[in-house]
Amino acid sequence: MNPDSLEARDTQSVIHGLTNLKRHLELGPTVIERGHGVWVVDNHGREYIEAMSGLWCISLGYGEKRLAAVAAKQMEQLAYYPLISHKSHPQAIELAEKLLAIAPVPMSRVWFANSGSEANDCAVRLAWYYWNAVGKPQKKKLLAHLQSYHGNTIATASLSGVSYNHEGFNLPLPGFLHVACPHYYRGAQPGEAEAAYTQRLLADLEARILAEGADTIAAFFTEPIIAAGGVIVPPAGYLDGLQKLLKKHDILLVCDEVVTGFARTGEMFGATTMNIVPDMLVCAKALSSAYIPISALLINERVFQAIARHSDELGVFGLTMTYCGHPVASAVAREAIRIYEEEDFPARVRRLETPFLDGLRELKSHALVGDVRGKGLLAGVELVWNKGTREPFPRERKIGAICAAIAEKNGLILRAIGDTLALCPPLVISEAEIAELLKRLRTALDETAATLTVK
């Protein structure tokens, strides 16, 4: 690396998440300088299809001028104002009203934050506050799935069921519990039918709730589709059964729509696609198409009434962050939703789902591909050592990472989650671009296969 290059300067100055920090010193970064639509260009002029929307977020693609214009105008008009102490501004009000109007189930109020992590963290806080408010302060434990990802504050990293969030960080905190991930392809016993697998999981879950004591559990967090854990679509009947159990045992349900919100699965919210009726709903990322950080936590009337009463008893609702409902971010998010609605993005995704998912399913005939799963424009392609037995590659072979690196050389950016290749392209992708994405992916798989002997 030339010491004056951006690559070398990066290694001497920036810390990168989800990266081996030591290896980064030798490898350096891919430096992306600009983008248009689904394409990004690096500092050497190489073009890539950004098939991960950055980090599951830039749904409207790069270069959306309407969002840039709204941000500039709002910065000139009112660059900042806090939402504390009975103060407000039109942009937060308009965005909150819009979110309540398009929410997948009746919701009562909106709390704003700056990231998915913060909004989920606030949902944890509100769950505790709620149970304190209704006189059940012993209801404190939080449940989530293994392999789920809910963020990286101390509470949400604890809530997440991925080990890299915990290892080396003294997490999870006590009281954050994990139950089996509803992952039929990986979790089913040999010969076990999907319905039997689902019933087994639900029976185990109820046994766990009873063992912990339902009166000690505050809330269950779930993603409609478990994204960062490997794009896992829960089997039919699982989420229905889960919701019945939570109702029976009076446990709040928080739906984490940070990835699935705003048309990703072919409906405005993944809760509609997957039939979820939550007490709280968290969204971020595509809320502003990632043009500016903002997240939102929607709460239902039951939760709102209780916390409003409790804040009156305590004298104040003691939750705040400087940039909650930032006017520029709120204006950008409002405009993003305007675009999703005007151009009917849910219908667009439903239309594109067929060429996208069918094209990926055709890869099932490839020697490396064991499973293809997804909804809308969100998919996972799992690579396996033995397709017949579903035996994975030995972890140390890092086949997913190798394939992702080969894909990048072929102008396709995707993300390896273990040996699952995640795909989450901007929703503005065209059919021709989907065909190009699939072509580059097949080339990457062929070149990866050529480096090994597969059973």
Contacts 24+ apart (CB under 8 A), 164-169: 164/18
CA atoms within 13 A on the CB side of 273: 28
Choosing from 35, 61, 104, 116, the residue that interacts with ligand PLP (CB under 6 A) is 116
Choosing from 151, 266, 278, 359, the residue that interacts with ligand PLP (CB under 6 A) is 151
259 vs 360 by CB, closer to ligand PLP: 259
If phi over 0 gives left and psi between -120 and 50 gives alpha, with beta otherwise, what is residue 183?
beta
Instruction: Write down the H helix ranges in 103-171.
Output: 116-133, 154-159
11 binds ligand PLP (CB under 6 A): no
Whole-number minimum distance, CB 315 to ligand PLP, in Å? Answer: 31
Whole-number minimum distance, CB 56 to ligand PLP, in Å? Answer: 6
227 vs 445 by CB, closer to ligand PLP: 227
**CA dist., res. 399 & res. 227, Å (int):** 19
Whole-number minimum distance, CB 216 to ligand PLP, in Å? Answer: 24
223 binds ligand PLP (CB under 6 A): yes
121 binds ligand PLP (CB under 6 A): no
Q: How many CB atoms lie within 10 A of CB 19?
A: 12
Choosing from 74, 115, 132, 300, the residue that interacts with ligand PLP (CB under 6 A) is 115
Whole-number minimum distance, CB 296 to ligand PLP, in Å? Answer: 12
Mark 228-267 with x for binding to ligand PLP (rule: CB under 6 A) and - for no binding. Answer: x---------------------------x-xx--------
Of residues 254, 247, 301, the one with CA closest to residue 282: 254
**CA dist., res. 347 & res. 2, Å (int):** 48
**CA dist., res. 356 & res. 423, Å (int):** 10
Total residues contacting ligand PLP by CB under 6 A comes to 16
Q: Are strands 415-417 and 412-413 parallel, antiparallel or unpaired?
A: unpaired
Whole-number minimum distance, CB 173 to ligand PLP, in Å? Answer: 17
149 binds ligand PLP (CB under 6 A): yes
54 vs 355 by CB, closer to ligand PLP: 54
Interface residues for ligand PLP in 45-74 (CB under 6 A)? Answer: 55-56
CA dihedral 241, 242, 245, 247 (to 10 degrees): -110
The amino acid occupying position 23 is: R
**CA dist., res. 68 & res. 63, Å (int):** 8
107 vs 226 by CB, closer to ligand PLP: 226
Of residues 281, 287, 234, the one with CA closest to residue 104: 281
Binding segment toward ligand PLP, per CB under 6 A, in 62-70, 112-120, 409-417, 437-445: 112-120
**CA dist., res. 217 & res. 143, Å (int):** 8
Query: What residues contact 300, with CB distance under 8 A and at least 6 apart?
Result: 105, 106, 107, 108, 278, 279, 280
Whole-number minimum distance, CB 285 to ligand PLP, in Å? Answer: 6
119 vs 349 by CB, closer to ligand PLP: 119
Choosing from 126, 159, 217, 227, the residue that interacts with ligand PLP (CB under 6 A) is 227
**CA dist., res. 184 & res. 231, Å (int):** 12
Binding segment toward ligand PLP, per CB under 6 A, in 101-109, 222-230, 339-347, 433-441: 222-230
Whole-number minimum distance, CB 388 to ligand PLP, in Å? Answer: 32
**CA dist., res. 171 & res. 308, Å (int):** 32
Q: What one-character-per-residue DSSP string does 405-429 give?
A: HHHHHTTEE-EEETTEEEE---TT-
Whole-number minimum distance, CB 251 to ligand PLP, in Å? Answer: 19
Binding segment toward ligand PLP, per CB under 6 A, in 111-119, 130-138, 246-254, 345-353: 111-119
**CA dist., res. 337 & res. 446, Å (int):** 39
Binding segment toward ligand PLP, per CB under 6 A, in 40-48, 149-157, 312-320, 400-408: 149-157
150 binds ligand PLP (CB under 6 A): yes
153: exposed, middle or buried (Cβ count in 10 Å: 0-12, 13-18, 19+): middle
Mark 324-363 with x for binding to ligand PLP (rule: CB under 6 A) and - for no binding. Answer: ----------------------------------------
Interaction site with ligand PLP (CB under 6 A): 55-56, 115-117, 120, 149-151, 223, 227-228, 256, 258-259, 284
